[in-house]
Amino acid sequence: MALMRRTAAAICAGLALALALPAGAPATLTELGVLPATTPPTAPSCPTSPCLAVSRTTGFQVKVGSAHNFLAARRSATIVAWTITLGKPSATQIKFFNTNEGGVSEAGIAILRPVPKPNLAYKLVSQTPPVKLQPYFGLTAQFPLETTLPVKKGDVVALSVPTWAPALALGFGKETSWRASRPRKQCTSTSTLSTQTQIGATVQYVCLYQTARLTYSATLISTP
């Protein structure tokens, strides 16, 4: 009985100390880029026809229906992982893309910071190394980061594709759109590599593509 009384007293003392301490703001886990189910479903196009891929550029989603700027950080945070949903192109489609879009399928993420001028300009502040994607075709794959990426409020998480990635869902209305780092006069061409890779450099994202959605997201832990 004496042992039980001492134990109860210790528990009460510990509880009182915990109540006396100021409550800290907990870190929160957030997934940028994930939205409720869409119509049509958000599924990458390949291997159906047309089989379209994101090719040789850096891009981010602007709108999906009434949701907009949902790949911008709402507060300072740290990115700890990123996720991509990939189509499953056929062997013929893979060969075509590998031959015409710079090599085997690869992608990573890039952190873009908007700048006041020129219009639609973003500075590259950090990025992940590209990951070879073919082993994950037909799957949703998450890649935890060995080196996490800090972001500030307003920073945008973009998909960086040095070659090609079957991560493009089609068939939406014009209210669904994404932007890419291609030069203004090359919005319809992938013949020139336009992936933004130079840290600190600023690029305009003037090319807007409607009716399609990039199928990636990022996992953030907010700064308490």
Helices (H) and strands (E) in the chain, counts: 2, 15
The answer to whether position 13 is within a domain reads no
The mean pLDDT value for 146-174 works out to 96
**What would you measure as the largest C-alpha separation in the chain, in angstroms?**
84
133 vs 37, more confident: 133
Contact 215, 169 (CB under 8 A): yes
The answer to whether position 20 is within a domain reads no
The answer to whether position 82 is within a domain reads yes
Q: Which domain holds residue 130?
A: 25-222
Residue 24 banded pLDDT, cuts 50, 70, 90: low
The answer to whether position 3 is within a domain reads no
The answer to whether position 2 is within a domain reads no
The answer to whether position 131 is within a domain reads yes
The mean pLDDT value for 149-153 works out to 96
For 120-135, letters b (16+ CB in 10 Å) and e give ebbbbbbbbebbebee
Work out the angle at residue 85's Cα, subtended by the Cα atoms of residues 134 and 153, and round it to the nearest 5 degrees.
Answer: 120
- Rounded to whole angstroms, the Cα distance separating 200 from 127 reads 11
pLDDT of residue 38: 87
Q: pTM for this structure? A: 0.86
With a pLDDT cut of 70, the percent of the chain lying above it is 88
Q: How many domains does the chain have?
A: 1
The answer to whether position 8 is within a domain reads no
pLDDT of residue 224: 66
